[in-house]
Structure 1
Amino acid sequence: MNSYSTDHELWSGVVADDSHAFALLYERYWKKLYQTARYYLKDDAAAEEITHDVFVSLWEKRASSNIQNFRHYIQATARYHVYKYLKAAKVNCVEYLEQFPETPALQVYNIAPDKLGYEQLESQLAGLLKDLPRRCQEIFWLSRVNHLSNQEIADKLHISKRTVENQITTALKALRVAYPPFMLALMISRLL
């Protein structure tokens, strides 16, 4: 057999224990397998090890393997070995992390109930303010919900700071009359 033999002819020689045919197949495919493994693993040593493992596996299973298309078979085998290597690397990573001593758990705080409460508060506020003039609602909302200063609101709406203060006072009076317990919640949310 020579280097011009087909893959099928060379594989037939390998099945018949011809080490020269095996060496020719190795020379024909080792570089491509190595480059493929290196591409996925980004590690020269691992790629070399996988290339070696693929060919060792082929030699050991030569009698029992019924290979029709050698090129496709060896590519699939290489992919399998890369996959197996990556899977083992992930398992080793987990095992390595398990070797660390336990650290105190981080305190986790669930903000969902607070967020729902805040959204309910906003909804109630919008309902209570609905009878006020639109501009008064807008100014109050910018002040108490968006936390803008009176001067920032005045600049944004192109009105005087005194007008902003008057509108906020009007809204607070309306809220005090309409729903006194709401004022306590509003004061607490303003402090936060």
Structure 2
Amino acid sequence: MNNYQTYTDQQLLDSLKLNEEKAFTAIYNRYWEQLYRSAYRKLTDKAAAKEIVHDVLIDIWKRRESLSVNHLPAYLEKAIRFRVINYINRNKSSHFLDVFQTILYSPFEADSQVNMQEFLKLLDAWIAALPEKRRQIFVKYYFENLSAREIASELDISAKTVQNNLSITTQQLKAWLTQLMVIMMVVSGSSHFKA
């Protein structure tokens, strides 16, 4: 009888491709708590964090035969980040990341680990390049889930200033994402011609 708890991540992934449910259970048990803590830190909502982790892990089972993962913990963390961003997007009145959502389901296969990693690096770089105050407001609103009033109080500025900064930054992000999507679709299209 196999002791899946002693398997490496790669052995578990290989077993998963052979439809071994116990390998999936071992992955679930090994990473559930770590992923839950990661999602909860970003959302501070227990139910939403649990749902996101469940969805990410179930998705691995559903795509087990075609899944190509080099480093499971990093892959899972990136998947959690994508789901958290989508959750925040769905639950904010603003249309933050509408274009981002389009990118996720576009023809160049956003579930590819390379595309996910590269896209997140670009997004992180874009956020890091924002002016200090605007970056603080953006991160606090979209990633720490604070309201405009809470941010205004924390940064000792008016709520109107917070809203204006959010509006400007969100418009810039949408424009940047639109350009990025066009570039990635062009690159994706040209790679199909070479094949």
TM-score by length of 1: 0.46
Q: Please identify the structure whose Cα radius of gyration is greater.
A: 1
